[in-house]
A = this chain, B = another copy of it.
Amino acid sequence: MSTTINIAVIAGDGIGREVTVQAQKALDAAIAFEDASIAYRDFTLGADHYLETGELLHDATLEAIAESDAILFGAVGGVPGDPRLESVSIERSLLLRLRFAFDQYVNLRPARIHPGIGSVLGRDARADFVIVREGTEGAYSGSGGLVRGGTAQAIATEVSVNTAFGVERVLRYAFDLARTRDKRLTVVHKNNVLVHSGALWAQVQADVSAEYPDVTVDYLHVDAATIHLVQHPERFDVIVTDNLFGDILTDLAGAITGGIGLAASGNINPDDRFPSMFEPVHGSAPDIAGKQLADPTAAILSAAMLLDHVGLPVAGQRIRAAVDLDIEHRQDVGIRSTDQIGDSIAARIAS
């Protein structure tokens, strides 16, 4: 009796659609070696879907997605400045709604400089770390408001909401992860200025780290962290930080480790009460959409994380090994289309 992995596919908009097809090719090639099969269920969602149907994310759709074992997510977002999208936030109503509804409190974003590929930091730069970004609170809470909008007296507030519960569980995850790696954890915040939430993070850090004497912990302010990331990326093993700082640092980490075309991520619900969601860090990039210009590698590496998560780490590793080989040979093959990269990686997985 073989297992079936039920995957909800939300390819979304723009290049999200192109790269997700390639991630599925990689999944299909990798699953062939396992005593398991994959059943996909497509959910058409995103800016285009909203413009056609008016749906952002119906409750019934959310419930149907909740039935899946995992979600493969492409990217969502329409053309910037489209007036029909002015009054909605696809990001908030769809992507962030999924992360919050499915309590995906660990946003896991590995960053590694692949030997075969250039880094903007030069040939000798080395980096192999993971950013654990909190995914369900902080400045992403949506709290706040705009008073007297459109007038010279307008005031807008934005409330970052942080709980001991939320900080503790993500810190524990990061400590546990550090234990499986080089046992070094860097907590990033801005506790010299954001004194309220900073004090909470510091308190929880002190409490939890006492339980992990084998893990070396340090702390950096977020501004200083950007300096270390570009000057000494090799110093990092696991970084844990809040939702907003994590958003910023993971794009920076992607940029210095071969570019955002390689940056994979998992929005994890470690309790497995809800499906976890795997998506490339990049967006829908409407400017290059439909032109076969997107690098599907980030989506393919996200699919590998999906396989790890559903208990098939050997299959995940198979994808990663194929990607490594593909990257190593990039110089030899010249510019390839999205499809060609996807096919080449799928072929390497199969062989």
Contacts and interface: CB of A to CB of B under 8 A. Distances in A.
Interface of A: 77, 80, 89, 91-92, 96, 120-122, 139-140, 142-146, 148-165, 168, 190, 192-197, 199-200, 203, 219, 222-224, 226-227, 230-231, 244, 247-248, 250-252, 254-256, 259-260
A124 B223 CA distance: 25
Given A230-B120, A231-B259, A157 B161 contact: yes
B146 A155 contact: no
A144 B226 CA distance: 26
Nearest to A246: B223
**Tally of this chain's copies:** 2
A347 to B, nearest CB: 30
A196 B144 CA distance: 7
A275 B153 CA distance: 26
Contacts of A150: 203
Contacts of A162: 155-158
Given A122-B122, A163-B155, A199 B252 contact: no
Contacts of A231: 120, 255, 259
A109 B110 CA distance: 32
Contacts of A153: 163-165
Contact of A157 (B159, B203, B251): B159
Given A121-B120, A247-B190, A156 B197 contact: yes
A223 B159 CA distance: 19
A260 B227 contact: yes
A140 B193 contact: yes
Contacts of A164: 148, 151-155
Contacts of A165: 152-153
A227 to B, nearest CB: 4
A244 B198 CA distance: 14
A210 B157 CA distance: 25
Contact of A156 (B91, B157, B196, B227): B196
Contacts of A160: 139, 144, 157-160
A146 B226 contact: no
13 contacts: A89-B192, A92-B192, A144-B194, A144-B196, A153-B164, A154-B200, A155-B161, A157-B162, A157-B197, A193-B247, A224-B251, A230-B252, A231-B255
B154 A163 contact: yes
A259 B226 CA distance: 12
Nearest to A249: B226
A223 B197 contact: no
A227 B199 contact: no
B96 A193 contact: yes
9 residue pairs, one from A and one from B, having the closest CB atoms? A154-B164, A223-B251, A156-B200, A226-B252, A144-B196, A158-B160, A227-B255, A156-B197, A91-B192
A315 B199 CA distance: 44
Contacts of A89: 192, 195
Nearest to A125: B120
A254 B226 CA distance: 10
Contacts of A192: 77, 89, 91-92
